[in-house]
Amino acid sequence: MDKGRGLLIVLSGPSGVGKGTVCSALRSQSQNFVYSVSATTRAPREGEVDGVNYFFKTKAEFERMIEQNELLEWAEYVNNYYGTPRAYVEEQLDKGNDVFLEIEVQGALKVKEKFPEGVFIFLAPPSMEELKNRITTRGTETDESLKNRLSVAKEEIGMIEHYDYAVVNDEVDLACDRIKAIITAEHCKSRVNQYKNMI
């Protein structure tokens, strides 16, 4: 049977919840996903590589991409732009590949407007106190920016109703297992429609 169009899998959640850690673990456990690389205007963190972790852009470059409709979605988050290059994602889906997007909540909701058939997964912290601890451990935030991130996180958690699934990131391996189970179930669901078309 033709494997058909791929799944668009969108993982998002508040800053500090561990999206990057979970995605890295998923990447090491499975070679079945194509990972979309987002564009951003924020400065690279230590160890991040342009074209691997993000496409790092100047504000002028990013705004030119917006004007030329080269982004599937984009959002401004804590004074920086983030966005998903459109052409790469659509090309991979048409090839039948599953595309995994790790993006902020604002961006995920914009993607949902264009791809309501996508699989939207919210990665949630065990508690707000644990989220605060994780952000503080980074050592990259001032008191003011920490307060800002926690305030934004509460707003984002309030948007969880727009997602298909919620996965608590209490332990990385368990979170990965839950996400892989969701994707397996979604593929089985898509098979139903393929078989209906055969009848």
pLDDT digits 0-9 by tens, 24-43: 899 888 767 888 888 999 99
Instruction: Report long-range pairs for 192-196 (Cβ below 8 Å, ≥24 apart).
Output: 194/1, 194/2, 194/4
Q: Is 133 helix (H, G, I), strand (E, B) or coil?
A: helix
Ramachandran region of residue 13, left (φ > 0), alpha (ψ -120 to 50) or beta?
A: left
For the domain made up of 8-198, give the CATH fold: Rossmann fold (3.40.50)
Is the per-residue pLDDT at 187 higher than 60? yes
Residues 11 and 122: their CA atoms lie apart, in Å, by 6
pLDDT digits 0-9 by tens, 95-132: 888 899 988 898 899 889 878 889 999 999 988 888 88
pLDDT digits 0-9 by tens, 74-88: 888 889 998 888 878
Helices (H) and strands (E) in the chain — how many of each?
7, 9
